[in-house]
Structure 1
Amino acid sequence: MTKRLAVIDGKSVFYRGYYAMPSFTTKEGIPTGGVYGFAALGLELIRKLKPDYVAVAWDKPKTNIRKRKEIYPDYKAGRKKAPQDFYDQIPILHELLEAFGWPLYELDDYEADDIMGTFAVQAAEQGIHTSLITSDLDALQIIGPHTDFYAMKKGLTNIELFNPESFEAKYNLKVEQFLDLKALQGDSSDNIPGVPGIGPKTAIDLLKKYETLDGIYENLDEIKDALRRKLEAGKDSAYMSKEVGKIWCDAPVKLDLEAADVTDLDVQKLADLLRKLEFRSLLKNLPTHMQVGEESAAQAIAMALQPAVVEPASDDTIAELLMVDKIVAMEHNDQYILSLQPESGYIVDTAEAKKILANAKTIAHDAKLLIKDIFGKNVPAGLIVEHDTKHAAFLLNSLERNLNPGDLLGLELNSEDSGQMVAAIWRLYQEQLKALTELPKLHSLATTIDFALIPLLARMEEYGVKIDTHFMADMSDELGARINELKAQIFEAVGYEFNIGSPAQLADVLFGKLQLPTTGIKKGKTGYSTGAKELDKLRGQHPIIEMVEEYRELTKLKSTYIDSLPKLVDDQSRLHTTFNQDVAATGRLSSTDPNLQNIPIRTEIGRKIRRAFIPEEGNAFVSADYSQFELRLAAVLAGDKQLIDDFNSDLDVHAKTASDVYGVPLEQVTKDQRRAAKTINFGVLYGMSPHGLSAATGMSFADAKKFIDGYFELRAPIR
């Protein structure tokens, strides 16, 4: 069987990983997003391509393009420098390559492409097939009978395979013509000019007819005047572009097949590094057919988690469990398993679980769900959650989205194997406790606030909130009547009936029937947009605009809240939401099923919907909030004396900000001005842009930019 060499364009793949992945950091704050992306692709490469050899070509900083810049001084000019944390991750990437056992090659005066091309030639001479992995389409000129190219088109997952056949099918050219294609059309990513005025379609048509760049220039007399003039004027540029864009497959570097051999990958060494970098979700992707010392990786992974022995609890065991201080608990197939140590677990019924967990501190994965399952509406007031492995994982890495035990441990777990799941919770608890102990402030937050909140949130969810369904029914009738009234007015204004909720039909009405101006209106494949921002640009052009906006608002409120929420209440007219501690990256609670945080408050109809939420008779709702807590912290940390003075003077800081930015007396600040100031006062702490302020407040982009510029003149220390 033909052996396979994979050559990775290291910087290209790393760059893709950096921008494709979230801003991952370790618990110490070390950025690792790009490295994670590279590691994920590397493991996928091993799994899918099963290469015998892997080498990494790297662009040596500054010196790699010297020879090409001698030919064309503006080669790659204008490229923006990557952010600093991109470069900060490169030493970590080199550590990862060492763990993979993949040699890295870089040269003065030669780019990674040249190294890749050189290795492809050397491999072919030894009967080895080469697969190139890069996002640089220049690699198309290297493909041939013994070389294919996996082109990373977008992110890390959108990859297109090129070989001579697929290239010809896509471009209707032969691979040998690619370099001439580049010479004609140029390459903006490398600042290669090509022939000015000639694009891909014209270039392909010319090459289909004349085959080569030389063939085109030998037959200029056959080409139409306008195109011929472009070719004549751009001849020197075309041949220069060809020379600069050519991959040099004779770079002074020798492929060391022994160093690139991956069959003896030390999986344990790689696994240790992935754990160190907190890439636990990648551990399950480790190749299991390679060696780890004297044992296979499959054996090592299997031994990584010894399943607990799970058996029904005896009376003596129940008595013992009632006396313990802490206990691991989980639900499994409508039974409950309690464990005092990783090696064993005991099956108990609901009544026994209630007694034991009411007295012991609970350790669980998603403790809130377990508590609700066991106690229902009768969650004991004194119930204590010692540790929740799901929420602790979120606290340690708020960007982690895969919070099930298997992903967190990097193991393929069988959720039906209760012994395995007990052992997994114990392992997570032990690892997380160690990590939290090393971070005292986070540990304190977890134990004194986040874990302590879990039983309270369970009680809140089970108790629910009462809704006045009769009030909602009356509102539904009221809004329904107004919606019908608006429909009639809209149809009368247009002269015929249509589906107001159809963007295409509405666009036909606005820009066809009514001939409203389209200047500045976004246009897509299906026609002009009728989104909220576009309608806002048309205000004052025709009365129908305000009617459509009101129609949209009312129909959305009616369907989303007024008609939907009453259908979700229980037989006591109580609505039950789910409070999430591990969704919002900022650590704030979120609400789902249904979302009760999105009920409008800025409009009269929104405030009226809120009045449908009522306390039980004899009780009252209490609303409590910190007074600009984050902004107070920012003022102190930035040393913003004016803002500190405003707080100390007990002023309305948002109104004061609006007064200062807009240059109006405090008592003349409007609600809209204050709202804009409030939005930016908090949004600026998270990098709010003019676009973000515009979207949040409805002001124009220009006004939002002007406001932010004025804000930072006022709040220079915070910037």
Structure 2
Amino acid sequence: MPELLIIDGSSMLSTCYYGNLPKSILFAKTEEEKEKHYEQILHTSDGKYTNAMFTMLRTLLGIYKKVKPEYVAFVFDKTRDTFRRTELGADFYKANRKETAKPLKEQFIQMEEFLQEIGCAVFMSDDYEADDYAASLVEKFEGPDLQTYVLTKDHDYFQVVSEYTRMWRVVNKDKLEQLKETYGLFGNDVYESLPANVFEYTPEIVYAEEGVYPQQIPVLLAITGDPGDGIPGCKGVSSAAAPLVDEYKSLDEIYAAIDDCEGVAKKEKELNGFWKEYLGIVRSPLKALKTNREMVYLSEKLATMKRDIDISCGLEDLKMRVDIEKLKEELGRYEMASLIKEVENM
């Protein structure tokens, strides 16, 4: 069966950048201190930073040698000012994140151009995030005749996992061993053929890990929030979130149960009793859910990946057709001689 591999380029490049930084920058306490050591970051003779690019390209070559997918698409973030801030008015969304460091910001542009130059399909825009493009690609192309994989380290991608789509989540070695042991996958031939430090999530494994199935992940995040993305959720309800979502499936159904009480103390006590006895919820989330209703619904919108972006290309446009001579030329431009040798030996 043909395979489509969707790669979260922003996540991979960021991980590669921070994983290949000089200690003088990693341990610096202020941005000013870090900037003093920027010259120690891997760079070309004309000053182009390359530490993240080099590591990412080496990783991609390793993935290709192991997996050899027939179709490949890269998705990138371009800005934080997407529709979540503009249309939804959530100016707090991702506001907790620091400004992207200059050496990484430059490499985002360089990496995106590099991939396009060698013939790879790259998706990004000012309106949507990388995960929105990934979800829209999945929505358009997944099916019984195409096995789809999404490669990322970000947990919010759990929501795209389905019968036809698997999430290849990048995890550290200890986490990988723990997951394989938990799900009895040691020695599994499938895992021997996966990229390094990658665990494959199915809908059943998402449920076992998160307490809800993939399609309910945005509902779960609407209540728990996501500190990394600045999604507030409903404070103080984290432990009750998964049982509630698993029972009611949607925010509308959760709030319908609450509204049925009509604010009557006796009915609310009965609802709390049901939650405690049948769902195992010891600390009642009722008051918090009522108080934060508007923010909970907004949080769901923020956590839900767009699945309806207009993807004008067809599947054949995503076919892996890397121009090898152009690849070697681009690697030469960034002075990556060791990777040129690796390409020639493939």
Residue 141 of structure 1 deviates from its aligned partner by 0.8
CA deviations over 1:250-309 (Å, ceiling 9, x no partner): 0122234333211x42223323332442333334543xxxxxxxxxxxxxx4xxxxxxxx
Residue 234 of structure 1 deviates from its aligned partner by 1.8
Q: 2:84, 2:302 within 8 Å by CA — same for their partners in 1?
A: no
CA deviations over 1:156-211 (Å, ceiling 9, x no partner): 95433222122122223222221111011001111111111122x32123234444
Does 2:297 correspond to 1:279?
no
CA deviations over 1:428-451 (Å, ceiling 9, x no partner): xxxxxxxxxxxxxxxxxxxxxxxx
CA deviations over 1:317-364 (Å, ceiling 9, x no partner): xxxxxxxxxxxxxxxxxxxxxxxxxxxxxxxxxxxxxxxxxxxxxxxx
Q: 2:211, 2:243 within 8 Å by CA — same for their partners in 1?
A: no
Q: What's 2:286 paired with?
A: 228
Structure 2: how far apart are the matches of 1:210 and 1:122? Answer: 28
Structure 2: how far apart are the matches of 1:285 and 1:198? Answer: 51
Does 2:203 correspond to 1:204?
no
Q: 1:12, 1:134 within 8 Å by CA — same for their partners in 2?
A: yes
Q: What's 2:159 paired with?
A: 141
- Structure 1 residues 245 and 172, CA gap change in structure 2 (3 angstroms): closer
SS of residue in 2 equivalent to 1:7: strand
Residue 136 of structure 1 deviates from its aligned partner by 2.5
| TM-score, L = length of structure 2 | 0.74
Q: What's 1:72 paired with?
A: 90
Structure 1: how far apart are the matches of 2:223 and 2:107? Answer: 37
RMSD: 2.7
Unaligned runs of 5+ in 1: 287-300, 302-410, 413-719
| 1:251 alignment partner AA | I
Residue 99 of structure 1 deviates from its aligned partner by 4.7
Q: What's 2:252 paired with?
A: 214
Q: What's 1:33 paired with?
A: 51
Residue 32 of structure 1 deviates from its aligned partner by 0.2
Aligned residue pairs, count: 286
Residue 25 of structure 1 deviates from its aligned partner by 1.8
Structure 1: how far apart are the matches of 2:312 and 2:201? Answer: 25
Q: 1:101, 1:260 within 8 Å by CA — same for their partners in 2?
A: no
Q: What's 2:7 paired with?
A: 8
Structure 2: how far apart are the matches of 1:212 and 1:65? Answer: 23
Residue 226 of structure 1 deviates from its aligned partner by 4.2
- Structure 1 residues 73 and 144, CA gap change in structure 2 (3 angstroms): same
- Out of 226, 230, 236, which is 1:191 matched to? 230
- Out of 54, 64, 68, which is 1:46 matched to? 64
| TM-score, L = length of structure 1 | 0.37
| 2:319 alignment partner AA | D
SS of residue in 2 equivalent to 1:190: coil
SS of residue in 2 equivalent to 1:70: coil
- Structure 1 residues 206 and 70, CA gap change in structure 2 (3 angstroms): closer
- Out of 302, 307, 314, which is 1:244 matched to? 302
Q: 1:68, 1:244 within 8 Å by CA — same for their partners in 2?
A: no
SS of residue in 2 equivalent to 1:55: strand
Structure 2: how far apart are the matches of 1:170 and 1:126? Answer: 25
SS of residue in 1 equivalent to 2:120: coil
Structure 1: how far apart are the matches of 2:160 and 2:284? Answer: 33
Alignment of 1:475-554 (within 5 A): none
Larger Rg: 1
Residue 249 of structure 1 deviates from its aligned partner by 0.4
| 2:329 alignment partner AA | D
| 1:78 alignment partner AA | N
Q: 2:85, 2:91 within 8 Å by CA — same for their partners in 1?
A: no
| 2:8 alignment partner AA | D
Alignment of 1:348-427 (within 5 A): none
Residue 238 of structure 1 deviates from its aligned partner by 1.3
Unaligned runs of 5+ in 2: 22-40, 174-194, 259-267, 274-282
Q: 1:67, 1:109 within 8 Å by CA — same for their partners in 2?
A: no
Residue 116 of structure 1 deviates from its aligned partner by 0.9
- Structure 1 residues 230 and 50, CA gap change in structure 2 (3 angstroms): same
| 2:328 alignment partner AA | A
Q: 1:68, 1:75 within 8 Å by CA — same for their partners in 2?
A: no
| 1:25 alignment partner AA | H
Q: 2:76, 2:130 within 8 Å by CA — same for their partners in 1?
A: yes
CA deviations over 1:495-532 (Å, ceiling 9, x no partner): xxxxxxxxxxxxxxxxxxxxxxxxxxxxxxxxxxxxxx
- Structure 1 residues 166 and 89, CA gap change in structure 2 (3 angstroms): same
Q: What's 2:147 paired with?
A: 129
Higher mean alpha-carbon deviation, 55-64 vs 186-195, is at 55-64
Structure 2: how far apart are the matches of 1:73 and 1:94? Answer: 27
RCO (CA 8 Å, sep 6+): is it higher in 1 or 2?
2
SS of residue in 1 equivalent to 2:232: coil
Residue 246 of structure 1 deviates from its aligned partner by 0.8
Does 2:221 correspond to 1:172?
no
- Structure 1 residues 110 and 18, CA gap change in structure 2 (3 angstroms): same
